[in-house]
């Protein structure tokens, strides 16, 4: 029987009831705390690049693109901090990008080599990979585009299946389709089963909105300035909430093991609605624009990072998120470890 909402019961009246009694000391506040944030709640998004040296990302202060050779240290750092998974995003060289994104199918591409480096370093951290074509296309879209500029759903799904299989063969633990094409979860699940990857986890970007908060991310993966038009024909309208429940329901029926809402803070109502409706893990992505806003405010002396970042991430957990993708993951894990 589904759980029903019950209005809160007021336990008594003042002065017999004083709710401040439970806030009196740090140990008492900890004992009655309703929502817990731990390193196990975090997924660390990591950008990967060719070359030998880390590359700072101007629009994301404190975040770098890691060369493949340094990923072993990243994996060991995540393991030591108790972060359970790393999400990989490639900055594909310009000469490897094409209109059809065929580099996504290359078994020796940047992501596949990054997976191998992480796997060689430790088996204590899971590897999550992005299934979408925008890091590989010259036009910046997540799918194939026809002569009229329309993003083609079914032809893109065929490419995404090949990309997902390529990543699974390389050793990815979690495949995360972020493209928002209709039917791609079912197609990927069928292909994984047919090739013997029955245990591969699909975390579907089920409610991914056409948001203005993605700008720094596009800088990080080298997509800034490439995009022709916008992504509003396949990513969700920010005004829609009920539609997100339909998207999640379809992905669950097609074989998703977990689902995601992206971006994060502007869509906490959607996170809560999905968590209340569906009995499987719901994740949220605290995206690059949210990270950049915090860091800009911290740099200006307006906010204190140690206070506001855990507060933000606790809000995701309170809304019902099983975990959060956040660029602050190592910072928060260290903070919690104190």
Let me know if 262 is a catalytic residue.
yes
Let me know if 119 is a catalytic residue.
no
- For residue 286 the two structure tokens come to 């605290």
Query: How far is the C-alpha of 224 from the C-alpha of 292, rounded, in Å?
Result: 16
Give first-to-last CA distance, the chain, whole Å: 41
CA 70, 60, 328, 270 torsion: positive or negative? negative
CA 229 from centre of chain: 24
Which residues sit opposite 266 in a β-bridge? none
Query: Which three-class secondary structure string do you get for the chain?
Result: CCCCCCCCCCCCCCCCCCHHHHHCCHHHHHHCCCCCCCHHHEEEEEEEECCCCCEECCCCCCCEEEEHHHHHHHHHHHHHHCCCEEEEEECCCHHHCECCCHHHHCCCCHHHHHHHHHHHHCCCCEEEEEECCCCCECCCCCCEECCCCCEEHHHHHHHHHHHHHHHHHHCCCEEEECCCCCCHHHHHHHHHHHCCCCCCEEEEEEEEECCCCCHHHHHHCCCCCCCCCCCCCCCECCCCCHHHHHHHHHHHHHCCCEEEEECCHHHHHHHHHHHHHCCCCEEEEECHHHHHHHHHHHHCCCCCHHHHHHHHHHHHHHHCCCEEEECCHHHHHHHHHC
| Given 119, 231, 262, 272, the catalytic residue | 262
Active-site positions read: 208, 262
């Amino acid at each position: 029987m589904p759980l029903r909402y019950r209005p809160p019961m007021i336990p008594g009246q003042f002065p017999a009831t004083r709710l401040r009694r439970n806030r009196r000391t740090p140990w008492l506040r900890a004992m009655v705390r309703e929502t817990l944030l731990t390193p196990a709640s975090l997924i660390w998004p990591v950008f990967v690049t060719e070359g030998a040296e880390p590359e700072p990302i101007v629009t994301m202060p404190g975040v770098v693109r890691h060369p493949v050779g340094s990923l072993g240290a990243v994996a060991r750092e995540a393991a030591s901090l108790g972060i359970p998974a790393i999400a990989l995003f490639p900055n594909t060289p310009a000469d490897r990008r094409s209109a059809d994104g065929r580099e996504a199918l290359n078994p020796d591409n940047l992501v596949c080599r990054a997976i191998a480096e992480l796997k060689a370093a430790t088996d204590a951290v899971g590897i999550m990979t992005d299934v979408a074509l925008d890091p590989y296309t010259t036009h910046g879209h997540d799918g194939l585009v026809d002569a009229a500029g329309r993003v083609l759903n079914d032809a893109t799904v065929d490419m995404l299946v090949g990309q997902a299989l390529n990543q699974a063969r390389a050793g990815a633990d979690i495949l995360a389709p972020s493209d928002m094409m209709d039917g791609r979860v079912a197609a990927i699940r069928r292909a994984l089963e047919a090739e013997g990857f029955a245990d591969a986890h699909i975390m579907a970007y089920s409610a991914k909105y056409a948001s203005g908060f993605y700008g720094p991310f596009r800088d990080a993966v080298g997509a800034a300035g490439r995009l022709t038009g916008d992504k509003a024909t396949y990513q969700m309208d920010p005004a829609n909430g009920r539609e997100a429940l339909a998207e999640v329901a379809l992905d669950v029926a097609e074989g998703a093991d977990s689902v995601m809402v992206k971006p994060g803070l502007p869509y906490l109502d959607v996170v809560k609605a999905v968590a209340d409706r569906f009995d499987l893990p719901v994740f949220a992505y605290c995206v690059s624009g949210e990270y950049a806003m915090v860091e800009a405010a911290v740099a200006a002396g307006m906010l204190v990072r140690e206070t506001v970042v855990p507060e933000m991430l606790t809000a995701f957990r309170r809304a019902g998120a099983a975990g959060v993708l956040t660029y602050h993951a190592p910072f928060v894990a260290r903070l919690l470890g104190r």
